[in-house]
Amino acid sequence: MKNRSVLISGAGIGGPTLAYWLHRYGFDVTVVEWAPAPRTGGHAVDIRGTARDVAARTGIVPAVRAAHTGARGMAFVDQDNRRVATLGTDVFGDSGGPVAELAILRTDLARILHEATRDGVEYLFGDSIVTAEQDDTGVDVRFESGTSRRFDLLVGADGVRSTVRRLAFGPDERYLRDLGCYVSLYSTTTTLAHDGWQLMYTMPAGDGRPGRTAGIYPRTEPGTGLAGFFLRSAPLRYDRRDVDEQKRIVTRAFAGDGWEIPQLLSTIGDASDFYFDRVQQVQVDGWSRGRTVLLGDAGYCASPLSGIGTSLALVGAYVLAGELAAAEGDHTRAYPSYAHQMRPFVDRAQEFARRSGDNGLMPDTRAQLRMRNLTVRVLPYLPRALVGRGMERVAGTVELQDYAALAHR
């Protein structure tokens, strides 16, 4: 086989899924992840459409079901916490709704995938690539830890701000498309998150303030939840490493608002898993440069608000590994086949994410907010043929090939 050794940057979702399959096809796989260990907590993600088949073939569905978030649906509430419109997970089939039937914390999924691969795959936690130079026969990589190694192939599965993409394709600005808002998430204490309903409180723009939503995501652990804040805004200038400054931005943006917001904000100072980022899409024309290729959010993030990113990463990993195995490691054949199979899925997902925008979370007017709530209320009464089909069609774009005969482990 050509090109047996593969370095994957990123142990999120796409990286370990690719590692699982490449290992089964007989490749030597190393995964480098800059977090010191698999993380805990964080947001929930969805496994939809074809990605359900990938999860099944990877043998992780029982573990995914066991770690289910317990999510039963999303409820839009008023400031007295009365539910004004609800969307149960059962309304849209297994894959079509805002919360899919297979919903799991991103970190739980990453942990399950790590556990499925740690025998046979080399993991380097707490490290990162700093330089990658490729020539005709391989890629020389230098790590932050000071070591240098040579690999046959390099995969960037390191998220929206991929280091591999920056090194091999150029600066982020060329590839990030702005979607006009910020999202913030952090673990909090709350008594409202125990029954599996995700609660969302939306305020329309007015009095010089933009449209915005605060939310509480359920957790199985009693007394805890995940606080979410969504804010329409022009790009803000702030130090990406200064978490306290980012906490102040969120606190200022929601200061004086009602519902549970004062309680949620009162815990922001203690949040150790605080997340704040601009909502962006990653648009890259060709996902490979020589021996280097991009996977998942690094190459084609649709939007963190779209609910399809995890499925893109899972399907992308399965297809990339299968094509590398089918081409016996010849990346000049495998990378174009991977792109050929994934491009329609990525284009549809990104178009869907742009079209659905912020999903009514940041309305400009009170009328828009009323219309959103009305729409949500009638959805359960519409014929199933009309509801959730957009997302289902997107999530089912790829017809998975069967590479099973190529696996020898």
Ligand X SMILES: Cc1cc2nc3c(=O)[nH]c(=O)nc-3n(C[C@H](O)[C@H](O)[C@H](O)COP(=O)(O)OP(=O)(O)OC[C@H]3O[C@@H](n4cnc5c(N)ncnc54)[C@H](O)[C@@H]3O)c2cc1C
- Give the binding site for ligand X (CB under 6 A): 9-15, 32-35, 43-46, 106, 128, 157-159, 163, 183, 185, 275, 296-298, 304, 307-310, 313
**Least distance in angstroms from the C-beta of 323 to ligand X:** 18
Q: CB–CB of 98/46 below 8 Å?
A: no
Helix axis angle, 14-24 relative to 309-326, nearest 10°? 20
Nearer to ligand X, 2 or 106 (CB): 106
> For residue 234, what is the DSSP state?
S
Nearer to ligand X, 274 or 403 (CB): 274
Nearer to ligand X, 1 or 178 (CB): 178
**Least distance in angstroms from the C-beta of 319 to ligand X:** 14
**Least distance in angstroms from the C-beta of 9 to ligand X:** 5
SS3 content of the chain, % helix, strand, coil (to 5): 35, 25, 40
**Least distance in angstroms from the C-beta of 206 to ligand X:** 26
Identify any residues that bridge with 74 across adjacent strands, giving them in sequence order: 87, 198
Nearer to ligand X, 2 or 142 (CB): 142
For 295, residues 6+ apart whose C-beta sits below 8 A from its C-beta are 8, 14, 15, 18, 155, 156, 157, 287, 313, 316, 317, 320
Beta carbons within 10 angstroms of residue 242's beta carbon = 10
**Least distance in angstroms from the C-beta of 279 to ligand X:** 9
Q: Which residue has the tokens 């590994």?
A: 321
Phi and psi dihedrals of 210, rounded to 5?
Answer: -80, 165
Nearer to ligand X, 236 or 333 (CB): 236
Give me 169's structure tokens: 């394709």
Alpha-carbon span 346 to 357, nearest angstrom: 16
**Least distance in angstroms from the C-beta of 339 to ligand X:** 16
Alpha-carbon span 113 to 250, nearest angstrom: 33
Nearer to ligand X, 13 or 394 (CB): 13
Give me 127's structure tokens: 């490290």
Nearer to ligand X, 171 or 256 (CB): 171
Q: 166-187 burial, b for 16+ CB within 10 Å, e for fewer? A: bbbbeeeeebbeebebbbbbbb
**Least distance in angstroms from the C-beta of 275 to ligand X:** 6
